Amino acid sequence: VSNATWLESHASITQREDAAYVDRARTQRATWTEARIASSFAIGWAFALFAYACIQLGMSAGWLSADLASDTIPLFFRWGVSLTAGLLTAAISCVADSHRRMPKLATWTLVASGVATALVVIFAP
């Protein structure tokens, strides 16, 4: 086999491998996008509850004042902050390439949220 023939065949193999890699990447992106977005929202909503409970615990302990404006209702203040924090968490989770760890992350976030909410209901209503 001459050098010219060897180089030509080697180049065509490389091109085929590149094309296959691009196809595989496109397919993977198309198939796991919706699961990735949904799992990010699962973490986001669980984190929103965690943020809500932490704000309430902080307010009860006197570490945090919700009287930011004269017409601020503390309940709405807590909702607003926790939903903002939850949506931000969902966005960061979706952008971050940690989707393989998301089921564990979501479970631990839910456990932390449950404990914090129980503390609020029992000790800091």
List residues binding another protein (CB under 8 A).
28, 31-35, 38-39, 41-42, 44-46, 48-49, 52-53, 56, 73, 75-76, 78-79, 82, 86, 99-100, 102-104, 106-107, 110, 113-114, 117, 120-121, 125
CB 2 to another protein: min, Å: 45
Q: Is 92 exposed, middle or buried (0-12, 13-18, 19+ CB in 10 A)?
A: middle
CB 43 to another protein: min, Å: 8
CB 99 to another protein: min, Å: 7
- Residue whose token pair is 């939903």: 83
What are the C-alpha distances in Å from 29 to residues 20, 25, 65, 97? 14, 6, 44, 12
